[in-house]
A = this chain, B = another copy of it.
Amino acid sequence: MIFPNKILTLLDGILPKIWSIYICIWHYTMRRKITLKQIARELGVSISTVSKALNNSKEISEDTIQKVQAFAKLYNYRPNNLAISLKSNRTKNIGVIIPDIVHYFFTTVFRGIEQYAKMKGYKVITYVSDESLTKEVINMELLSNGSVDGFIMALSAETQKANDFEHLRRIENLQIPFVLFDRVTDEIDCDKVLINDQEAAYMAVTKFLDNGRKKIALITTAEYFSVSHGREKGYRQALRSYGLPIQEDLILRLPITDLDAEVIHTFFDKNDIDAVLCVNEVFAVYGMNLVQQRGVKVPEEMEFIGFTDGILSKYAKPGLTSMSQHGFEMGVMAARLLIDRIESNLRKVEKPFQTEIIASTLVERESTLN
């Protein structure tokens, strides 16, 4: 920029022609974004007139509107988002904080969020918490200074383990809306989107029982994961309601990363098992491979059902029967809840918190009979 504004003001009365030429050259050579002020100056009207004309205000004559809009189009005017945000105190951004992105379920949820958000004119800023409480806190801190109108998040493993929700309370205090999905907590009152984990596990175990299986194992994670907790409850409930004893030995708890083949081998060595429910598809496919390696026939001698109907389930051998969690729908729902809340806050209308359940469905493949 060669001419600072002070000089421009001075020039204004004296050399409008020169300015005109200057703006043309400047624009065509460097094609920087043009502003209301420049349009106003060019057309010899005020900034307010231009603004109103572009917004089709009926305060402005048809004539002027045409002129301004034509000019704006010609110079490819795009209103500066930042200025609008600053003025209106809303960014049209939403922050998404998820524990992991290299993970089928979370990416499908993200897809849902992104799609709905885009439809509503919102942009999505994503941070990965890496299952770490600290990172989760920092990420929220980074976004809560007006970068974002609201949050969508799934709690990290550490957060669930530590049961520490101070950062959520701070966001609550700042009046920033947020939605929890999948990994949630009862300690915080907010909009939530859940899977019917218990029911889904119940369905899966029922499938085994209907196929005549009686020695049903559960491979799960540590208990503090809200989803594993729910699924375990469903597993127990199904066995109970079929009058079968619950053998704690048949429940194997694994860490979410670094699977150890030995542990699983000894688990299958020590127990007599004819069906296995796993709380995710990695456990299921990994387990399936191990038992097949030992000569066990899947599904004839042992059936498998997993959760998270992702790419692994689809291309495993045999194809893994899996509870599909419909991540896309969850994402859409989470985004809808959040954006609804943001916009109703704007209109100062009170709205009770909602909890939406997305029903899982069983996708049957070759790892189960029938």
Instruction: Give the interface of A toward B (CB within 8 A).
Output: 30-33, 78-83, 85-86, 91, 93, 101-104, 107-108, 110-111, 114-115, 118, 123-128, 139, 142-147, 173-175, 282, 285-286, 289, 292, 311-312, 315-317
Contacts and interface: CB of A to CB of B under 8 A. Distances in A.
A199 to B, nearest CB: 25
Contact of A146 (B82, B101, B126): B82
Given A81-B145, A124-B126, A286-B315, 6 more contacts: A82-B82, A101-B114, A102-B108, A114-B127, A123-B143, A316-B316
Contacts of A33: 145-146, 174
A78 B282 contact: no
B114 A146 contact: no
A318 to B, nearest CB: 9
Nearest to A143: B123
Oligomer: number of copies:
2
A284 B350 CA distance: 54
Contacts of A286: 315
A144 B147 CA distance: 17
B285 A315 contact: yes
Nearest to A139: B118
Contacts of A91: 82
Contact of A315 (B108, B111, B316): B316
Contact of A123 (B78, B102, B111, B147): B147
B282 A145 contact: no
A325 B11 CA distance: 58
Nearest to A103: B107
B146 A80 contact: yes
10 contacts: A32-B174, A101-B111, A102-B111, A115-B128, A118-B139, A123-B125, A125-B125, A285-B315, A312-B315, A317-B317
Contacts of A292: 317
Contacts of A126: 110, 114, 124, 126
B315 A80 contact: no
Given A31-B174, A124-B125, A110 B114 contact: no
Given A292-B317, A317-B289, A128 B146 contact: no
Contacts of A114: 101, 126-128
A257 to B, nearest CB: 12
Contacts of A104: 102, 311
A83 B270 CA distance: 64
B86 A111 contact: no
A280 to B, nearest CB: 11
Contacts of A128: 111, 114-115
A310 to B, nearest CB: 8
Contact of A80 (B108, B118, B145, B282): B145
Contact of A85 (B31, B82, B103, B118): B82
